[in-house]
Chains A and B, each alone.
Chain A
Amino acid sequence: MKKSVLFGSVAAVVLAASGAMAAEGDTLNEVKTRGVLNCGVNTGLVGFAAPDANGNWSGFDVAFCKALAAAVLGDGEKVKYVPLTGQTRFTALSSGEVDILARNSTWTFQRDTDLKLDFIGVNYYDGQGFMVRKDQRVTSAKELNGASICIQTGTTTELNLADYFKANNMEYRPVNIDSNAEGEQQYLARACDAYTTDVSGLAATRAAFADPENHIILPEIVSKEPLGPAVRHGDNNWGDIARWTLYALVAAEEYGVTSANIDELAKSSGNPEVQRLLGATDELGTMIGLDAAWAVRAIKAGGNYGEIFAKTIGEETPIGLARGLNAQWTQGGLLYAMPFR
């Protein structure tokens, strides 16, 4: 307590003295010196990021943090998870509290420009939908005129909801909630007629109900919600590392590289693209300030994109999300890794 404060102030003085030593734009060195990746995640959304009874974090977003830590630091466990609320997430990133924000945040124009964030890609293509009880006999969002709708404050969904009802000349009563847990409670208690958030979130929430069969997700998707990790504006090298780590996971799935066969393929793959990806030839890693085997480590940490998806939110898990838009482009989805060349 006293010590930390004193040490903090001492550290502050030292840092002030050494001027802009940790100048903006060298997150990579900072992370390497620290030895730990600070990763901003959700405070608790099962499937995406949630701590278990022992405080171990797991989920889809967490898996990306692990892959990035493995690529940069060589160990997927060297991550400090910083739980962030919808309120605090962007500031935590811009103030340097976290190195990367993997907290299912929607990529929007304003966030990318005015808020000085850089979204490095999309790791989940989502859309906003509505969930209602079957016994209400509602089959379309157009029939929700006058309904009470549970909505998380401070999200893009709040704006989309206002826009959608306005565009369709309908009225609604917003029931503002603070977290997904609260939304679930309110919806189940029938304090709102419909619950709106990203469809993935709706599915995850519905999966956990005692009677999932009594609830339906309405067919209307009222917005595009491309969710992706974000870094600070201005540090392009760090952005590149994060972006290509994500692409490495996606590309690995495309080329059939899994955590099981990766060691073998790294040595003996005949596919030149795979060779480049896994650092057998070309040493792409050195161009972004890492070593040749960065992608191997990233993929080994939790598997390729498909493996991560299946393990955390896929159809085998209680969340049970289908790949849908998030299938590879070769399978009719939108996932498209840029070429490793």
Chain B
Amino acid sequence: MVSYPGAESPPFRLSMLIYDRRYRSLTLQAVVFILAMLAASWFINNTLQNLAALGKTLSFDFLFRRAGYDIPQQLIPYNSDDTHLRAAVVGLLNTLLVSFLGCITATILGVLAGVLRLSSNWLIARLMTVYVEIFRNIPLLLWILLILAIFSEVLPPPNAYRGDTPEAGMILFETIAPTNRYTAIPSLGMTNSPGTLTFGRIGISWAFITYAVAFVAAVLAHRLIRARAQRVQDRTGIRPVTWWISLSIYLLPLLFLTWYFGLHLVPPALRGFNFADGINLDNSFVVLWLALTLYTGAFIAEITRAGILAVSKGQSEAAFALGLRPRRTMSLVVLPQALRVIVPPLISQYLNLTKNSSLAIAVGYMDLRGTLGGTTLNQTGREMECMVLMMAVYLVLCLGISSGMNLFNSGVRLKER
């Protein structure tokens, strides 16, 4: 900077803090910051006073006490002698499970419905419009309650499968029994089990590990073969036929291991009051999953439709003009552009679904809110600690999902050069 004589900056006066643009923003920020801190300390002070008046102290010790209640669906071993902390983890895993599966099925349903809504088939397009509008404009809670009522009123109880001439029959070759308590599906059984690898109380079957190793090896081998084929093609111009080698690399170890372990399906069988042997998917889980799928699917359908409509017709016409076939036009031209429009709102739908899974309260599915923010809170009376912990977990979960998806989004975003 060149300094001019006589244009030296005026001496600092207090009023400049307000009237001088250079200082005003600093003043404002200081004021806002002090006010925010004051408000925060006021709230904290009140809270401490209130807690003291009630004779309560903030303490997370209760997490390590015996929980004493049972949880119907558990992904890691849990019984009523375990701690509240473990119960909370079981709940968190249940939240994650239903959110994860819900996101997958809602995306499939939503994309399907969104595409079909643009189909030239009048009937299907109208049906999908009706589906989208009905599910978007009625509260999720109603869908959950309605589907729960349908499941418990319409499906048969387990003992309807009893007897020589049962009132209800199992479906899909006698393997799946939908009841009004759970859906009994077959489990996997092994006649020649290699035993399990245990970490604490979590056991992983060696068979599973073997399959995983075989699969990873197959993937590596497959890549090698493709690389070799590419080299051959580069050298000679003719690509050797490799699909049957790849296929057998994947399939043969699989078949061998299955034969070796004697892997088979164990159909559920009625024992006493309930089905045993198979896996019983609790209705609370199935209902919540279904309701979240249908509800979020309607929103995703709308997003998909908007995304496809946002790609101008000129793009596909130009692709045709270049001689691309319809499928390649779709995959190389239309879809990448549509994805750019679709992904950001899709992320927020995934977040919504995860947050909406807390409506598990309506069906008694024991998710994070049901365990930590429900029974634990109620049995220990530590509402402050439980709620703070629960909100923190949800916050981390949502921020995690959104940052993960944002990474993906930056991958598909238009690269401006």
Contact = CB atoms under 8 A, between A and B. Distances in A.
- Given a CB threshold of 8 Å, the question of whether A touches B is answered with yes
Interface of A: 24, 86-87, 90-91, 94-95, 110-111, 114-116, 144-148, 153-155, 158-159, 161-163, 166, 172-178, 182, 185-186, 189-193, 232-234
Contacts of B375: 153-154, 158
A146 B274 contact: yes
Nearest to B71: A174
A166 to B, nearest CB: 6
Interface of B: 50, 53-56, 68-72, 80, 149, 152-153, 157, 159, 180-181, 271-274, 276, 280, 283-284, 361-362, 364-366, 370, 374-375, 377-381, 383
Contacts of B284: 175-176
Contacts of B361: 178
B274 A114 contact: no
A183 to B, nearest CB: 10
Contacts, number: 106
A232 B380 CA distance: 16
A172 to B, nearest CB: 8
A191 B152 contact: yes
Contacts of B383: 91
Contact of A189 (B68, B71, B152, B381): B152
A147 B181 CA distance: 11
B70 A162 contact: yes
Nearest to A150: B364
A166 B81 CA distance: 10
A189 B153 contact: yes
B364 A87 contact: no
10 contacts: A91-B381, A94-B54, A110-B381, A115-B381, A146-B272, A155-B378, A159-B69, A172-B70, A176-B284, A191-B283
A339 B149 CA distance: 52
A138 to B, nearest CB: 9
B68 A162 contact: yes
B378 A191 contact: no
Nearest to A187: B152
A243 B281 CA distance: 48
Contact of A147 (B68, B273, B276): B273
A191 B157 contact: yes
Contacts of A155: 378
A175 B283 CA distance: 9
Contacts of B374: 87, 153-154
B72 A111 contact: no
